[in-house]
Copies of this chain bind each other. A is one copy, B any other.
Amino acid sequence: MNAVTIKDVALAAGVSPATASRVLSGNPATSPAARTRVEAAARELHFLPNAQARSLRSTKTDSIALLISDVRNPYFSDLAHAVEQHARAAGLMTFMGNANESTEQQDEFLATVLSRRVDGMIVVPQGLSEQDGNATEMLRRVVDSGIPMVFVDRTLADIQVPRVIARSREALEEAIAELKSHGHERIAFIGGPKHASTAMERHQAFDAAIAANGLVTAPELHFAGDFRFASGAQGARWFLENPLAPTAVIIADAPMAIGALSVWRERGLNIGTDFSVVSFDEVDALLLHNPPIATISHDLELMGRAAVQALLAVMKNESVAPVELLSTFTPRPSVGPAPDKDVHSEGMPRA
């Protein structure tokens, strides 16, 4: 097992542990002679400082924690990658955790990370769906501990910490304008779960954008999914059976869109001609689809960078204004003319 401590280094270098410590942590109050000898000894013995003991004493760890909602969702893995690269550039190691869309797993990770000490946390928070998306007691406690923390992508209504989020209102207006210009008037929406603020934001922005385009919506045109594949497949069937016969649908994230598209493909439907589709998130499967899917996307590289910058500011006790990034609408052939007689009324095979 490992065992080489700073004492071993000091012994080998013929100095006291204190001097060795000073040399190894870059304290200027060291003589060149001591410096060379200690450094040589450390190299020789492959000394690796024990970060536990170090931060027990100094409370600096040069590391942060990143909690994402779902590692398997490419949206979050892209975000994680961006956060990690920027944190690295700032000299911070990132420990990643996966909430798996579960408050329980979120809480476990946050508590563990808090007790192991990191210098800050970047969190995509999970709310309690039974409580209008408010925070768990554990999350509140972690916030109350005073550890520097920023929210990214999602927020919680009852917790105030600096945040980096996206604003999809304008992009949705563009998307709906595009659909309208193709003759679509009844547009369905497949949304996300209550515990995610992004689901709420996208839903409200959708309603507002519909109104801004002079169209109307109805509760029957809204499907409540959960941001995952299976609920997208359900949403696809719901869409086909919808009595209001919508001619287009906007889907609130990529996993649901992929779930929906696989159902529609199985039924032999043609996107862009039978009906039109716009999805949030820009991922390979949507771009490679035939035809490519129009998307509302976020610059996750930018979002990750902004989150790291915000955290660095919080760690310096600076005040940080909320950051709102604009989503981008990219038209693609999945949006086509609204069909005269829509697919719903024809003799389609149903569930």
Contacts and interface: CB of A to CB of B under 8 A. Distances in A.
B111 A98 contact: no
Number of copies: 2
Interface string A56-77: 1000010100000001101001
A294 B332 CA distance: 27
A109 interface: yes
Nearest to A78: B72
Interface in A70-98: 71-72, 74, 77-78, 80-81, 84-85, 88, 93-98
Interface in A226-257: 229
Contact of A72 (B77, B112, B146): B77
Given A78-B72, A81-B71, A49 B115 contact: yes
A88 B100 CA distance: 12
Interface residues of A, number: 55
A290 interface: yes
Given A2-B146, A56-B56, A88-B108, 6 more contacts: A48-B115, A51-B115, A95-B96, A96-B98, A229-B284, A290-B290
Interface of A: 1-2, 46, 48-53, 55-56, 61, 63, 71-72, 74, 77-78, 80-81, 84-85, 88, 93-98, 100, 105, 108-109, 111-112, 114-117, 141, 145-147, 229, 258, 261-262, 265, 283-285, 287-290
